[in-house]
């Protein structure tokens, strides 16, 4: 019981991550920018490294705002280089940005060797160490971002869904402005999430529920419902397995996400095969049996 009590806060933090990341994952998958969170996370790490180099407390408010400011710069870059003609995929720019930010962070870390452990904690994360204050603060921040996205959901969805169509978004929509607002709000989420859970777990919460939902649904509302349900169940199962097998919670949740996604894919394949067989005429099925 003491261990379960110890896991309450990590589980609540996982639920909060599920709520915002499953939604943002729908946009990320539709836009085809799967690794944008990794790039923004690395830019945030570069901001934190810079803050340490100029003498800021790595856990202080100044370092947080420095990291957030760097993610805003990244948001501006991704907005500026967006090509409506799709001659150069945005994912290519995201990869270049990630590589450059990683190299710059490595160079900066070499000058701040005494604080590399703090930077490692920010990149790897430790969801078991999350505090009640962190949970409440993160819930309020993500709640505000969620309300913002709900109010302007039609504009964000119009841009995201237009990436896979030939028509493009509404002609009177300022695409660059709303793109920047999307990536800026995304930067708020990534900067806070990575500090709590680490890059791998944040990436799984962002992409896996959305991909799993796409196996069974096309409508955005249905996909969100499936994604939120999947994230909640996997969080609970991952926390339980980490206690049962005595393994790191974050890594266990990541592996649980992978295992559940495989199961969902197998169920989808079996269901699709059964549907195909049922749709065949009776005489065709009879010949197959013979």
**264-288 pLDDT per residue, tens:** 999 999 888 777 777 666 555 555 5
Neighbours of 61 (CB within 10 A): 9
| 232 vs 57: CA distance, rounded Å | 34
- Chain mean position to CA 113: 29
Residues 107-132 have pLDDT tens digits of 887 776 665 566 566 655 678 778 89
| 56 vs 112: CA distance, rounded Å | 12
- Going by pLDDT thresholds of 50, 70 and 90, the confidence category of residue 170 is low
Residues 32-88 have pLDDT tens digits of 888 888 888 888 888 888 888 888 877 778 888 898 899 999 988 888 876 554 677
| 125 vs 9: CA distance, rounded Å | 15
| Burial class, 189, CB count within 10 angstroms (exposed 0-12 / middle 13-18 / buried 19+) | buried
| 125 vs 131: CA distance, rounded Å | 13
What's the CATH number for 2-207? 1.10.3470.10
Provide the token pair at 206: 């962002």
pLDDT at residue number 208: 94
pLDDT at residue number 115: 57
pLDDT at residue number 212: 94
pLDDT at residue number 290: 47
Q: For residues 274 and 152, is the Cβ–Cβ distance under 8 A? A: no
Provide the token pair at 243: 């206690």
Helix axes 116-124, 175-197, angle to 10 degrees: 110
| 229 vs 216: CA distance, rounded Å | 13
**Helix extents (H) in the chain:** 2-6, 8-31, 36-53, 61-80, 90-110, 116-124, 132-151, 153-161, 175-197, 199-214, 220-244, 249-279, 282-289
| 69 vs 177: CA distance, rounded Å | 17
Name the pTM for this structure: 0.83
Q: For residues 173 and 79, is the Cβ–Cβ distance under 8 A? A: no
């Amino acid at each position: 019981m003491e261990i379960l009590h110890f896991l309450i806060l990590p589980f609540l933090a996982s639920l909060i991550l599920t709520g915002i990341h499953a939604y943002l994952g729908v946009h990320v998958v539709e836009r085809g920018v799967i690794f944008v969170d990794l790039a923004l996370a690395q830019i945030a790490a570069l901001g934190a490294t810079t803050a340490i180099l100029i003498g800021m407390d790595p856990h202080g408010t100044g370092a947080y705002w420095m990291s957030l400011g760097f993610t805003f710069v990244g948001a501006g870059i991704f907005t500026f280089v967006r090509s409506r003609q799709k001659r150069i995929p945005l994912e290519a720019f995201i990869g270049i940005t990630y590589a450059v930010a990683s190299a710059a962070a490595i160079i900066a870390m070499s000058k701040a060797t005494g604080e590399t452990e703090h930077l490692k904690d920010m990149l790897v994360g430790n969801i078991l160490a999350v505090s009640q204050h962190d949970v409440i603060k993160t819930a309020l921040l993500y709640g505000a971002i969620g309300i913002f996205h709900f109010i302007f959901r039609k504009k964000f969805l119009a841009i995201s869904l237009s990436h896979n169509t030939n028509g493009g978004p509404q002609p009177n929509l300022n695409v660059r402005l709303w793109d920047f607002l999307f990536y800026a709000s995304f930067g708020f989420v990534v900067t806070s999430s990575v500090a709590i859970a680490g890059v791998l777990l944040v990436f799984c919460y962002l992409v896996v529920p959305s991909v799993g939902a796409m196996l069974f649904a096309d409508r955005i509302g249905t996909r969100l419902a499936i994604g939120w349900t999947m994230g909640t169940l996997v969080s609970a199962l991952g926390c339980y397995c980490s206690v049962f097998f005595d393994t790191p919670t974050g890594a266990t949740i990541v592996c649980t996400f992978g295992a559940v996604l495989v199961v969902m894919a197998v169920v989808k394949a079996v269901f699709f095969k059964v549907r195909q067989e049922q749709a065949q005429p009776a005489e065709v099925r009879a010949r197959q049996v013979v």
